[in-house]
Amino acid sequence: MSQSLPTVLVVDDEVRSQEALRRTLEEDFTVFTAASAEAAAVIMAREWVHIVLCDQRMPGASGVQFLTEVREKWPDAVRIIISGYTDSEDIIAGINEAGIYQYLLKPWQPEQLLLTLKSAANVWRLQQNNQRLSLELRAAEPVLASKVEMKYERVKRELGLDG
């Protein structure tokens, strides 16, 4: 395959959860793992991460707190919370503060997790394409305006409307 796999950063303070998620995802994604928000931030600064899959309840920073930082520093990363808790305040904060793409519940089903992360990788790819096309359009605008002006002037001359 010519393209590299999308990258996922799994942030969970439970090593067994990290390993289970890694085993589920490693065939379709390049997987990095971190046991804390601090360790995850180091990886984010070093690697190009497409998706961050973060536990909500961890010692130190919560998932929402860390993903809010990710949103500010690495806004292109698609942010997902995974939690065993359905606290509506956490979910609302995740959406409003961290701009999360999904709030997944533990225990998770491998097939559903893979579908969600593949969808997140597609969202990331579409965002990148949109940004690239926006830049190309902005760069093309003056060139196109110039071409239109030249054609307009030529038509005016050919029809004898220039004066």
For residue range 110-161, list pLDDT tens digits in order: 999 999 999 999 999 999 998 888 888 888 888 888 888 888 888 888 888 8
For residue range 38-85, list pLDDT tens digits in order: 999 999 999 999 999 999 999 889 999 999 999 999 999 999 999 887
> Helices in the chain by DSSP H: which ranges?
15-25, 37-46, 63-73, 88-96, 110-158
Q: Predicted confidence band at 6 (pLDDT cuts at 50, 70, 90)?
A: very high
CB atoms within 10 A of CB 6: 20
Q: Are strands 78-83 and 51-55 parallel, antiparallel or unpaired?
A: parallel
pLDDT of residue 4 exceeding 60, the answer is yes
Is the Cβ–Cβ distance between 90 and 124 less than 8 Å?
A: no
Cα–Cα distance, 83 to 94 (Å, whole number): 12
Q: Taking phi first (over 0 means left), then psi (-120 to 50 degrees means alpha), and beta for anything else, what does residue 51 get? A: beta
Residue among 18, 94, 15 at smallest CA distance from 56: 94
Q: What pLDDT, on a 0 to 100 scale, did the predictor assign at position 20?
A: 96
Residue keyed to tokens 């920073």: 61
Cα–Cα distance, 73 to 75 (Å, whole number): 6
Coil, helix or strand at residue 52: strand
Mean pLDDT on 26-41: 96
pLDDT of residue 1 exceeding 50, the answer is no
